Structure 1
Amino acid sequence: MSADDRLAVVVARDRTQTVIDRLRELDAYDDDRTVQPWDDDSVAVPVTSVPADLAVRDVVRQVGEPRLRDLDDYLRERGWTDAEIDLAPASWAVVGSVVLVDVGDAPRPEEVGAALLQLHGEADTVLSRGPITGEHREPAVEVIAGTGDTETVHREHGTAYALDLAEVMFSPGNKAERSHMGAVVREARERSEPSETGAGAARHATGERERVLDMFAGIGYFTLPMARAGATVTAVERNPVSFRYLIENVQLNEVADRVQPYRADCRDVTPDLAADPVDRIVMGYYEAHEYLDAALPALAPGGVVHMHEATPDGLVFERPIERIEAAAADAGRGVEILDTRRVKSYSEGVAHVVVDARIE
């Protein structure tokens, strides 16, 4: 259809969905274009032809190139007003075949869910996401559209994560950090003259695998990319559901020879590593500083700790660094800060941060 042929019918806003349904019955609705606001109480609905028996206010030409349809378009087709669309979620995440969204103050959440399924044809379920609570960090979710199947396999950067989003947490905002941990291991392994000191450097020099302790492994968020990059990982997780998926994901990613999983409290595992300490420790928990006294004896001299924390904006990165330095001083060890990263917003005024530190 040329620009001159792009027609639209102007109808009352509250008739939008009725008119679209009728146009689809008549094979006259133009899916390649979007419904556009026309005036205060009407919209312009794109058509390939104008049915003779359809009651409309006007027939107009829509100029400009077709654009990608977004959530607003699908909600507007359902008769949502601009004021209602302003309350719709601005972001969401597709995790495997499931869409995770915080609907916030949006009216009619089930229509938000249906619109997101239209927008993401690869998804079959939409979950409204609530808070993560409890000792095992369990998610609160509600099915608002689709089949209701919350179990899926999510793939990112070559790593496959099987999980049930109604049972275990998954943070899409940590994607870059998961990739980063795989890259850190890969880069250390590929260096011909590693800069590490202590046991890690000796292992790299002889071609041995780097040894890593993941103290809060979950379903394998960091364990899997590190194992795929060549590390041998001791993965500790006490949540029985997360641990079951950890075992499944180790098999799914074909790294069973590199991962030693333990269903336990990490403080019960670290004493066994003191005699043969690891090269790297990942502490992917917002209150990880509470476990530093258990972690450091398991870390070889010159080893690296990656500590996560939920930190008030005014204390980024001062507080987590002070906590690492204090724990190291208590253990009679020195600290070199290698890197700091702000991963994402944890809550209003609080940031999820990571500090990488070498413990001498």
Structure 2
Amino acid sequence: MEQVKLKKKRQLNIRKYTMIIALIGIWFLFYNLDDTGTFLTARNLSNLFKQMSVTAVLAMGMFMILVNLHIDLSLGSLVGLSGGVCALLMYKFGMNPFMAIILTILLGAVCGIFTGSWVNAGVPAFIASLGGMLAYRGAIMGLSKGASVPTSEPAFRFLGTAYVPPTVGWIIGAIAILGLSYMTIKKRQSRIKFGFEVKSMALELLYLGIYIGIIMTFIYTMNSYKGIPMPIAIVLGIALILTFVATKTRFGRQVFAIGGNKEAARLSGIDIKARTMQIFIISGVMASIAGILLTARLGTATTDAGNGFELDAVASCVIGGTSLLGGEGTIIGAVLGALVMASIDNGMSILNTEAYWQLIVKGLILVIAVFIDIYNKKKGK
């Protein structure tokens, strides 16, 4: 019995760190293939983090959906619609950027309610979101008359192009290190109090040291260029909030419970329809934020913006350890998965690889990641 527990624990640890090992492997590969030495420069890594921010935000929204055993194919089109509407509100109607952003986020929530209502009415999420994907794409084409919508509002562009000052970056890093150290100590004390197994103190300190090293390396590298890009700072903020929601709240525990065993969750008194509606609202809001960040970075909204982004979001979640069979995964894993996908795009672009090869590689990675997930599930049984 003890051997079985150790075996399962070992499998979980391997899966937990697979994406980190894969990321290091990808970076090492592109570093060696890149004759120009561009890939691991502070400037390119800064651009890489900016590029991944949209996919990361979208992946966090998709994570909530996948954990609950659903899928939302409309998120990519909603990114395009949200970015287009936000740009139109400022460019055509002269609206204040702050109000335009608020209304755009509300639009995302309304679209989430639209999809969630159909799902609660019995329509499969695949079909309901597929309808939304087509409808939202058609809506932005109609609203913009098929033309690009420029936006040059400095306050709006700030979200996509600005950098956190180096000093502030170090302050944020110090807060993150203190917070991580406190949480590690508190978690250890809690496990000891309730009689759970804990790592040796030496191993605990080793892990903590590695995490602190990663934080300091990240801050130092970003400050070597211009500072932490504002989009990635927003991504990290959202990730912290959603991680707390997913792991420390009743709502989060119920979402995972539904994904793990829907019938058991229903019998335990969980309001499945209410939770379903709420996760679709969250995913809609995440898509609208992703659309805002994309438009703020590019300075223009186009009718094809966000095209195929939903598939990148699914791939990011699965690569990051989210199970398509529901009830398993982490927000941080989804963000790391987005970083893996962005690294592949960025690295292949630096190598001047044809665009079709990028799609082929990402498609293969998605299939392999899903296969590994299903294989591990079957093996676990």
TM-score normalised to structure 2 length: 0.18
> Computing the radius of gyration over CA atoms, which structure comes out larger, 1 or 2?
1
Q: Quick check: which one's strand share is greater?
A: 1
- Greater RCO structure (CA 8 Å; 6+ sep): 2
Q: Quick check: which one's helix share is greater?
A: 2
